[in-house]
Amino acid sequence: MTIRFVEEARREFLDAISYYEEARAGLGRRCKDEVDRCVLWVADHPELYRLRPGAYRRINLRVFPYYIPYVVRGETLWVLAVAHASRKPLYWISRRNEVA
């Protein structure tokens, strides 16, 4: 399965890495590694997480306070956001319309 990030999700991902790296050296790398592991896991098990109202699925990170909403279109997993769990719920929902 091909993994793609919508552009806003990629920026959020990079912003989270930068934020944690500035907070403590090495923490940004840990955040990146956790997101990478979760996305790869989802790519191998895309149907494992429940379909939510709005026709998306999501996986919660274990260490960092983020979740990754995604949709599958054909053989492509689209990451819609790297969303902070305590901020603006569903701000990214319109991004579902951006993926083919």
Between CA 14 and CA 17 the distance in angstroms is 5
| CATH number for 76 | 3.30.2310.20
Number of domains in the chain: 1
Residue numbers of the domain that contains 40: 2-95
- Cα within 13 Å of Cα(5), Cβ side: 16
Nearest to 64 by CA among 46, 41, 82, 51: 82
Q: Does 100 reside within a domain?
A: no
Question: What pLDDT digit, counting tens, does each position of 5-27 carry?
Answer: 999 999 999 999 999 999 999 99
Question: What pLDDT digit, counting tens, does each position of 30-45 carry?
Answer: 999 999 999 999 999 9
Between CA 67 and CA 69 the distance in angstroms is 6
